[in-house]
Amino acid sequence: MLLKKIRGIAAVFAVCAVFTWIAGSLPHFSFARNTAAQNVRFILDAGHGNPDGGAVGADGTTEAELNLAIIRKVSELLNQKSVNHILTRTDENSIFSEGETIHAKKVSDIRNRIAIAAANPAIPVISIHMNSYPSSSVQGIQVFYGEGSEEAQKLADSLQHAMNERLQPDHTKTTKTIPKNVYFFANISNPSILIECGFVSNAEELQKLKTEEYQMQLAQIIADVLTAES
Ligand SMILES: [Zn+2]
């Protein structure tokens, strides 16, 4: 029981630590990109990207590279089903457009991601991240959704259910709402899904997350649920 509770708390506190620090530092948006496209059904968002690696595992593996590997696989699977979608980033770099410092680059990166979402209103955003926690025993996949969107909640519930059933049968995780201090999600109105695919701070889970096979299992579940529900 205690462990279950700890897991829940970990997921909430660890979620997207990356984007919370920036809250309040972006008083104005300049929508640098207009990437509105035709018949887009999903926006796939791989969290972080150079120069922001996100959470880092003990062996130096960055969250950014894992997020991208998984999102690319989801993208391939959606392409196979001719499901139109856009990616916020397609390579190892974040999508910063200005700034000399890492902080400034992070700010413009988030502005650009917000602009992509704004240019494609009402299109669900599926964001992939990895978790990290001081206690290395904490592990597992946690799905979050943006509060107030029935569509997002339904998708998140289906994703969490499928993840539990197919990848973590010992877990009884249920979906949670995305904390309000996560800047990116607080500034978009799209139905929002955040999938924390695992803890890079857990050695066993990190080893799994680094394999093509496990990445494909995660991607397959995501693609299956997205195409079943939409
Ligand atoms: Zn992250």
Q: What tens digit of pLDDT does each residue of 122-162 get?
A: 999 999 999 999 999 999 999 999 999 999 999 999 999 99
Ligand 1 center to residue 154 CA distance, Å? Answer: 22
Query: Which pLDDT score is estimated for 99?
Result: 84
Q: What is residue 29's predicted lDDT score, i.e. its pLDDT?
A: 33
Question: Low-confidence residues of the chain, pLDDT below 70?
Answer: 1-37, 229-230
* Ligand 1 mean position, distance from CA 130 (Å): 5
CA of 196 to the centre of ligand 1 (A): 8
The alpha carbon of 16 and the centre of ligand 1 are apart by a number of angstroms equal to 4
Span from the CA of 150 to the centroid of ligand 1 (angstroms): 24
Distance from residue 220's CA to the centre of ligand 1 (Å) = 21
Nearest Cα residue to 86 out of 116, 114, 115: 116
What pLDDT is recorded for position 134? 96
Residue matched to tokens 């240019």 = 119
Burial tier of 96 (Cβ tally within 10 Å: 0-12, 13-18, 19+): buried
State in Å: Cα 39 to ligand 1 middle: 28
Taking the centre of ligand 1 as the mean of its atom positions, its distance from the CA of residue 158, in whole angstroms, is 21
Sign of the Cα torsion 25, 28, 31, 36 reads: positive
Tell me how crowded residue 29 is: count the other CB atoms within 10 A of its CB.
Answer: 13
CA 120 to ligand 1 centroid distance, Å = 22
**How far does the centroid of ligand 1 lie from the alpha carbon of residue 94, in Å?**
12
Neighbours of 21 (CB within 10 A): 13
Expressed in angstroms and rounded, the spacing between residue 230 Cα and the centre of ligand 1 is 26
Distances in whole angstroms, Cα of residue 108 to Cα of each of 69, 70, 179, 206: 23, 24, 22, 29
CA of 76 from ligand 1 middle (Å) equals 22
CA of 14 to the centre of ligand 1 (A): 9
Only one residue has tokens 């001081």, namely 134
For residue 55, the CA-to-ligand 1 centroid distance in Å is: 6
Q: DSSP label at 133?
A: -
Domains of the chain: 2-25+37-229 (3.40.630.40)
